[in-house]
Structure 1
């Protein structure tokens, strides 16, 4: 995995972070979750003085946070009986202020007893729930521990707000003002900022019409759609993440109110369309930010997206590929091995050299000190051969136990597969988990002191992260140095929808250090032989416009081939609806001829063998 991780279900842990004013200050407290519905408590009999828009207020934090409110009137617009149980209410009589939402979530903790269309009075405590407080998430205004009175049933629902290109602002977020730590205290400006616009609709009924799917259905029955048709479209129907300043304003996650057992969720790929109207309350969660929880789902229109097959190579072209196989272990289903292997043979056309990332040890996530991965690799090689591919040979270096990050006990590492009928590996003894590879000789005699070897494994840059694996290959008598990479993940970074603007990308610091170390190694190799052919590839966990990639390509020692693709094809991964670049192939200056391809077979599909798309380059050493 390469993106920030968290426990996905249930959405709420046993303790909830809530913001409660204490005088003029605000303090973070932990409130135990209710374990049963509070809707059976004696409910209010008369409307109180406050309406929902008074509770929501004109900023991200309720002016009533921490206070008990009584007799708040509203129409029930949605009921959720799984996960975070509760219901939404909305005032059918809005005020004139576009910044104040007319909807709010009532958190019951147990199965709600109300129905959509009920007119209710709600009393309870106003809280600000942070789905991921430490990760910088915004908050969700709620009424918790409620007492509810149903006044009548079968009432018409308030009209949904249509969310589309006409009203989504083009600027994503305001910046944190000087002297403040977050944007929470800023008055909402829903006509200027996207995040303010969505916040002003929090808890209200919204709808989208005829929207394109920009991230495929995942195993949690969620997908993403493009509500704004002006976001930069990829070649195959997604939206491109092109810079930190352009996170694409129209991205919305879509879930559904009905449990999947009652109503199947559409299985959609990127480029498919939810036709007609998709509508429901606008929620906020730690995995997708603002989320349309659909009571009505549009019909799925299949765009018949096809998995790509790379162009064939000529006999004189050396093909080198990279593929993150997502925690591959012998205990994985045979079907995963078969699917990955078929992609190598069919979609990548059996590359001469294949750098794999996330190969786990022989017992996978079992944490017993095992570091050997020979069974994992052997099973994968056998699957490739069974799919009609070559009898690959392989080289790798076992990591120290628990020192390379990834899933605990898994000991992920990079592995070289190579086709001995097409290319040979130059074995130089001495490489192990802790010995640094170096450069020996000059000119045509330039070589590695260990092949395979690891680049500066003791350097702090690689703490709890995978060390680059470098190998020396020979193709038609020409020497080629290949570096397989898996830089540290983005875990711990604040989201682009964070209450901190700009969000802090804390993981970036280590990747810059890693890029600095590798850039120096490549520079030393080129200083020994300015004509050296170097290919550095793998999962760098960062974007083509990031400081880490700028560091890696400093002084022109490497060039990032993704920048040479047409703009609409520059992506290898999809996260929160953004089609983005995390995997790269870079080459040294003397690798002039380089035909590069990101082979889109996973990231845009609901059915995935891995969450990454593989890449391949054809060169003529």
Structure 2
């Protein structure tokens, strides 16, 4: 494996090298078998390697005598723009260089990259006819498929997090067991990924997460990788900026099959990445482009009530194109459920920060757009406006949760609506003090975050069957660190706040169940957390509700509503009381966004639909 051709030696430069009395350090010695080089901060000399690639700011070298230790990379980045722009240095040249070993990172949250800085070329020894890349999984180990590092204590999603730093502990690499160790053991190497597939859509810059024809776990039917408690899918790698200055396509999709990719393993903005020699090429795209409509339709009675949930991503009345696209999803793909939980409804003028908090025009615009597609569906809506700029989200947008409902099927039980500061209560019956109303909105857990909206409904089919609902949008994960980052386990920003929100929400729901253990209750929305993570798991335990994916038997790998980095993941959940879970007739995640390209998605979340017998 590695270098397989003979060097054409240049005698004059060889003589120069032999005349030197300075001891040489090899690339393997510089890298060592840990994350941080044993030579960090030291000047080294007579480092010999063949040029495997050139970039805008430096070159990459590989040892001419590859080692046999799988923990140690034989590749090294030599940082120096003058060297990179030197047209007399080409791929295949065998160089002898001096320089200083540096551990570079542009952000303290990132893992450092071992590189050689302030380089001086001591000699050019010759040229190789061919520089052969290492084929991942053939010339190297296969990437581990579940754990990232021994410092994660069994789960990259563990709480508490940020308990240690890779850069401080600097553990010995175990590339056969841990994903970060595997990619670190290849940093600086020229590699090839055979038969790659995209496990996420490219971002707006064309950066694309892929896996090759090696073993993977968490595979879903769309060929993405779904995360789970013990599996963060470290076998995926991101393909970043091509070294030849070309651009990766930005219109790719989850599941695309790609041409073989050859490039350099490195660190880019906190992730192990491959810089391809040229741009990604898509070979084929999966069909159909998006999931079809839900199979769950309403009977119009308590025996077949349909309920949906959808984070509609910063919707306001003035964004008519966004409203129209959402309406199509609701009318055609969600089949206009009887009751729809929506999150991220903005006030009527969106992000204009002028004190407007009402969202009646926004919800009316959405309802009208649905009816334009489905004349038989005339949604009513209900919500509680927040205090201005108190619920987070885009400044001035005043996002909140709300309900759309079909009045020929459901109506709000009689009651008085609450306001932004009034705490709802469970009254005998059980009934709600405010309908709809907020859960403990002045609790510190909801500072700069959306407050859950509780409502009590009854069917209009003559049965007067009662359903209690709680619409949630918990605090954001924004500011979390990369799964490839220095902090271990990675920082899960806001996890403490979401845990507090879980307790407040669960306490209210448990009081409903205490009043009536057979009550029909649905809690749905954007929990901003995984079902197996501490806040949601704690909510389920304290509330007495059941995850509807569990109740409906959704396969574990198909539980996703969101794409982030390498993972198909589920931030949106529906939980049901025992009586409701026992009579669920179906539950589906409708992949109208996660299967599409970045520019074609309507929201960054997929909606979900369930059907229930609440008679």
Q: Which TM-score band applies after superposition, normalised by the shorter structure?
A: 0.7 to 0.9
Aligned 1:11-30 pairs, distance under 5 A: none
Partner of 2:9: none
Aligned counterpart for 1:497 among listed residues 479, 484, 490? 484
Aligned 1:355-366 pairs, distance under 5 A: 355-366=341-352
Query: For 1:590, what is the secondary structure of its paired residue?
Result: helix
Aligned counterpart for 1:394 among listed residues 381, 402, 405? 381
Q: Are residues 1:456 and 2:440 paired? A: yes
Q: What does the per-residue CA deviation read over 1:374-398, in whole Å, with 9 as the maximum and x for residues that have no partner?
A: 3433333333233336232211122
Q: Are residues 1:238 and 2:194 paired? A: no
Question: Is residue 410–residue 458 contact of structure 2 (8 Å, CA) maintained in 1?
Answer: yes
Report the CA distance between 1:496 and its aligned residue.
Answer: 3.1
Q: What does the per-residue CA deviation read over 1:373-428, in whole Å, with 9 as the maximum and x for residues that have no partner?
A: 33433333333233336232211122222322223332221121112233223363
Gaps of 5+ in 1: 1-44
Partner of 2:286: 303
Q: Are residues 1:612 and 2:612 paired? A: no
> Whose helix fraction is larger, Structure 1's or Structure 2's?
2
**CA–CA separation in structure 1 for the residues paired with 2:62 and 2:368:** 59
**CA–CA separation in structure 2 for the residues paired with 1:150 and 1:363:** 66
Aligned counterpart for 2:186 among listed residues 191, 201, 211? 201
Query: For 2:151, what is the secondary structure of its paired residue?
Result: coil
Aligned 1:49-88 pairs, distance under 5 A: 49-69=24-44, 72-81=47-56, 85-88=57-60
Aligned counterpart for 1:428 among listed residues 412, 415, 440? 415
**CA–CA separation in structure 2 for the residues paired with 1:74 and 1:387:** 65
Partner of 2:571: 582
Report the CA distance between 1:144 and its aligned residue.
Answer: 4.2
**CA–CA separation in structure 1 for the residues paired with 2:69 and 2:593:** 45
Q: What does the per-residue CA deviation read over 1:565-613, in whole Å, with 9 as the maximum and x for residues that have no partner?
A: 1223222112222222211011112213212111111123213111111
Q: What does the per-residue CA deviation read over 1:264-322, in whole Å, with 9 as the maximum and x for residues that have no partner?
A: 526332222114x21100122346x2212211445422222442210142423221111
Report the CA distance between 1:101 and its aligned residue.
Answer: 1.7
Partner of 1:138: 111
Aligned 1:384-533 pairs, distance under 5 A: 384-388=370-374, 390-426=377-413, 428-442=415-429, 446-475=430-459, 476=461, 477-533=464-520
Question: Is residue 269–residue 305 contact of structure 1 (8 Å, CA) maintained in 2?
Answer: no
Query: For 2:321, what is the secondary structure of its paired residue?
Result: helix
Report the CA distance between 1:226 and its aligned residue.
Answer: 2.3
CA distance 1:156–1:409, shift in 2 (3 Å): farther
Question: Is residue 338–residue 387 contact of structure 1 (8 Å, CA) maintained in 2?
Answer: no
Aligned counterpart for 2:233 among listed residues 235, 248, 254? 248
CA distance 1:505–1:314, shift in 2 (3 Å): closer
Aligned 1:86-165 pairs, distance under 5 A: 86-108=58-80, 112-114=84-86, 117=91, 119=93, 120=95, 124-134=99-109, 137-144=110-117, 151=124, 155-156=128-129, 158-164=131-137
Number of matched residues? 563
Question: Is residue 65–residue 127 contact of structure 1 (8 Å, CA) maintained in 2?
Answer: yes
Q: What does the per-residue CA deviation read over 1:436-489, in whole Å, with 9 as the maximum and x for residues that have no partner?
A: 1111222xxx22111221101111221222111112222232221111111112
Aligned counterpart for 1:593 among listed residues 574, 583, 589? 583
Q: What does the per-residue CA deviation read over 1:64-119, in whole Å, with 9 as the maximum and x for residues that have no partner?
A: 323344564444433444xxx54433334333433222223344579941466163
Gaps of 5+ in 2: 1-15, 154-162
Question: Is residue 271–residue 305 contact of structure 1 (8 Å, CA) maintained in 2?
Answer: no
Question: With structure 2 as the length reference, what TM-score do the two structures score?
Answer: 0.83
Q: What does the per-residue CA deviation read over 1:228-266, in whole Å, with 9 as the maximum and x for residues that have no partner?
A: 3332311221112121x2212321112241577x44526
**CA–CA separation in structure 1 for the residues paired with 2:54 and 2:347:** 45
Query: For 2:272, what is the secondary structure of its paired residue?
Result: strand
Question: Is residue 483–residue 490 contact of structure 2 (8 Å, CA) maintained in 1?
Answer: yes
**CA–CA separation in structure 1 for the residues paired with 2:341 and 2:392:** 18
Aligned counterpart for 1:292 among listed residues 274, 278, 297? 274
Report the CA distance between 1:177 and its aligned residue.
Answer: 10
Question: Is residue 256–residue 265 contact of structure 1 (8 Å, CA) maintained in 2?
Answer: no
Question: Is residue 270–residue 305 contact of structure 1 (8 Å, CA) maintained in 2?
Answer: no
Query: For 2:371, what is the secondary structure of its paired residue?
Result: helix
CA distance 1:127–1:377, shift in 2 (3 Å): farther
Q: What does the per-residue CA deviation read over 1:133-168, in whole Å, with 9 as the maximum and x for residues that have no partner?
A: 24xx32222334556689599855532222238622
CA distance 1:160–1:378, shift in 2 (3 Å): same
Partner of 1:283: 266
Q: Which of 1 and 2 has greater Rg? A: 2
Report the CA distance between 1:490 and its aligned residue.
Answer: 1.9
Report the CA distance between 1:336 and its aligned residue.
Answer: 2.6
CA distance 1:107–1:603, shift in 2 (3 Å): farther
Partner of 1:353: 339
**CA–CA separation in structure 2 for the residues paired with 1:583 and 1:357:** 10
